[in-house]
Amino acid sequence: MKLGLVRHAETTAAAGSCYGRTDVGVPAEATRAIAERIAPSLPAGIELVSSPLQRCALLAQAIAALRPELPLRVDPRIAEMDFGAWEGCDWRSIERAEFDAWTGAFADSRPGGHGESTREFMGRVGEAFDEWRATARDALWITHAGVIRAVWLLRDGLRCAERADQWPSRPIAFGEWVVVESMDIRQA
């Protein structure tokens, strides 16, 4: 059983800006190119699951248009993390003390004052991940870099990153497709 994870196309947001739950747009051409690359490789019967944010939903719809036999559903649990008041800000403009306060209490601190804690974020992604495991069915999540990193932690048996240094730092390119196999999942 496999879970594919594909990141949306590059957004129209300014480079360096924080846009977790902000519903920023994506260029249609870039979205179409990713869909045309991925759709032919998808196995029959795989379920398409999309974040509700338009940068993912448009890609999911483009894939579904090329593969109309595949079921598609939207799952808000695989939306990107909410960064509170930091949404729309340039990452470099965030006060160092605020950023350090968040990373210093990484599991439970709320970024941007009222954003989503890492524990809350990983909790909802974990629910979706556990549901996928229970279905015993291949799926492709059209999602975000933060969700992909959370799934890597879940695969490795970590239900919540307690410290910022536990969070995966590997870059995830726009349109990148990674796969998690059920046999690779470690128990917490």
pLDDT(185) > 80: no
- The Cα–Cα gap between 122 and 90 comes to 24
- Give the model confidence (pLDDT) of 105-133 as tens digits: 999 999 999 999 999 999 999 999 999 99
pTM for the whole thing? 0.96
**Which domains occur in the chain, in start order?**
2-184 (3.40.50.1240)
Instruction: Please give the pLDDT value at position 6.
Output: 99
Instruction: Give me 3's structure tokens.
Output: 């879970």
- Give the model confidence (pLDDT) of 41-82 as tens digits: 999 999 999 999 999 999 999 999 999 999 999 999 999 999
- The Cα–Cα gap between 83 and 20 comes to 6
pLDDT(170) > 70: yes
Task: Annotate 26-69 with DSSP letters as a single string.
Answer: --HHHHHHHHHHHGGGSPTTPEEEE-SSHHHHHHHHHHHHH-TT
Instruction: Please give the pLDDT value at position 188.
Output: 58
pLDDT(3) > 80: yes
- The Cα–Cα gap between 61 and 72 comes to 8
Instruction: Please give the pLDDT value at position 8.
Output: 98
